[in-house]
Amino acid sequence: MHAARELCRRSFAVLRFDFRGSGESRGLSEELTISEEIGDLISAVGWLHNKEEVSKERIGVIGLSLDGVVAPMAASQDEEIRDVCTWGTPAELKGLQSTAKNIFGETRIEESMAKSHIDLPSGDRTGRGFLIDASKHDISKSITQISHRPILIIHGAKDQLVPVSHAEKLFEQAREPKEKFVIEGADHTFNRWDWQWEVINRTAEWF
């Protein structure tokens, strides 16, 4: 919310939307997959592209964490996305299932994978199909496919969920023009006022 308001204050047109199954959008979160999120983002960009107040050749996207994965993947499929900015984004998804095992324990995750959904510590649910679908996506390939379109990679140096090595890998895979900004001491969600505003200001200046 703070980022959107600050970008608007700097005369950007900003669209914030809920993926299906999230917030006020219809659907169930446990039915959502990366592939469906990519489709949702492309649809949102298409809607935005038809707005008179929007510069058609200057549409950029921002994504945090897994949404940062969706951003370059959507851009690789949609030339209307001209700039990509990622915050705390993993460089690969194939490790998601093993990460889940570390969180829940071998027996719990195997039991959950046998069901239609997995209950998360946050109280949310994700579907078994999400992990299956995620393993099919190649972020490295998407990053290289958006070459010649600018990309900004922002990461917290103390991110324990997605280590900063992921930002290094993304930056290495990306082609010019590219920039990387690591915030010293910051966690995965930049959960401190000064970290948050470092991210917002750097992103706004870059765009």
Statement to judge: residues 73 and 161 lie in one domain: yes
Statement to judge: residues 114 and 12 lie in one domain: no
Statement to judge: residues 112 and 159 lie in one domain: no
Statement to judge: residues 10 and 59 lie in one domain: yes
Which of 107, 136, 165 is a domain's end point?
136
Statement to judge: residues 71 and 146 lie in one domain: yes
Statement to judge: residues 82 and 104 lie in one domain: no
d(CA 76, CA 182): 24
Q: What is the pTM for the complete model shown?
A: 0.87
Which of 82, 108, 136 is a domain's end point?
136
d(CA 86, CA 154): 6
Statement to judge: residues 129 and 142 lie in one domain: no
Statement to judge: residues 70 and 145 lie in one domain: yes
Residue 85 makes CB contacts below 8 A (sequence gap 6+) with 60, 61, 62, 63, 71, 151, 152, 153, 154, 203, 206, 207
* Among candidate residues 152, 113, 138, the one with its CA nearest the CA of residue 38: 138
Assess contact for 10 and 28: CB atoms under 8 A.
no
Strand segments (E) across the chain = 60-64, 83-87, 117-119, 125-127, 151-156, 178-183
Statement to judge: residues 188 and 146 lie in one domain: yes
**Which residue range forms the structural domain that includes residue 101?**
94-136
**pLDDT, position 23:** 80
* Among candidate residues 102, 124, 97, 136, the one with its CA nearest the CA of residue 113: 97
**pLDDT (average), residues 152-164:** 95
DSSP 8-state assignment for residue 124: -
Per-residue pLDDT at 139 exceeds 80: yes
Statement to judge: residues 79 and 107 lie in one domain: no
pLDDT in tens, 28-55: 777 788 999 999 999 999 999 999 999 9
> Quick one: CA dihedral 19, 22, 25, 28, positive or negative?
positive
Statement to judge: residues 49 and 85 lie in one domain: yes
pLDDT in tens, 89-120: 999 876 555 555 554 544 455 565 566 666 65
